[in-house]
Structure 1
Amino acid sequence: MTPPQRRRRSPEPQPPPRPPQPNDGNDGKDGDASNPERLFILTGLADGGERAALDLVTLIVAGADPPPTAPPEQSALLRLCQAPLSVAEISAYLRLPFSVVTVLLTELLAAELVTARAPISREALPDRSLLEAVMHGLQKL
């Protein structure tokens, strides 16, 4: 029995790209996080306050349910962080830039609705050979 032969299809012609449509004043679509005005509204007015020192790998854990007065983005962030998540993961899940997520997290940290933990680095863990030596010493007792 011979295997079936595949035939290559000729590429279909692609339609030309559509020209940009005139703006009808609806700049801030609900799901459009790429709009700079929308991002400015999410982060609030510039109050001159400092942002929390957060890394991409800082772990965030929600300490409470979202209050009823919380904006939708903060509510989504609090629901998302019931289990520890890194700031990079939160940014990806919410489809928001890291800087916007940092501002949102700074507000939640100030309100003590979330806690930030530095990730555990391998240098902070004891050496495996040391742990094995302690274990063997305890077994000999």
Structure 2
Amino acid sequence: MIDVTSPVTGKAIGLAAVPDPVFSGSMVGPGTAIDPGRGATEAVSPVEGIVVSLHPHAFVVVDEGGHGVLTHLGIDTVQLKGQGFELLVSKGDTVRRGQPLVRWDPAAVEAGGKSPICPVVALDAMPEALSDLVESGDVRVGDSLFGWV
């Protein structure tokens, strides 16, 4: 089992509360979501692995067992065209858990009319493959969000 940890500090709200039907309906996979604290910060890798997809607003890290974890920084933030986001790694990089991958400002995202809520999703997983799913309460960077068998 792998432990998927929080890429940001904030409040866990669960995927059902995400204001986007693709995430709230678990269409890309099960997981949870974090309403991040406001202010400039860095989103970190939730697992150790390889960055297989990297955009200013989202990234996927795949661990050695083939588990892909998507972190999406805000909702509809692709429409910001990278403004307010700074990439700190490159696609193909091997990263460690907790390594900063993107610098961003959730308050600026919100000021731009977008939700800063961050889904953290186990790609292509079945819901029963996750354990100890955190869907409420305060979380800090590095806190466990769920286990994945």
- Structures share fold, TM-score greater than 0.5: no
Q: Which has the larger radius of gyration?
A: 1
- Structure number with the bigger relative contact order (C-alpha 8 A, sep ≥ 6) is 2
User: Higher strand share goes to which structure?
Assistant: 2
TM-score (norm 2): 0.23
User: Higher helix share goes to which structure?
Assistant: 1
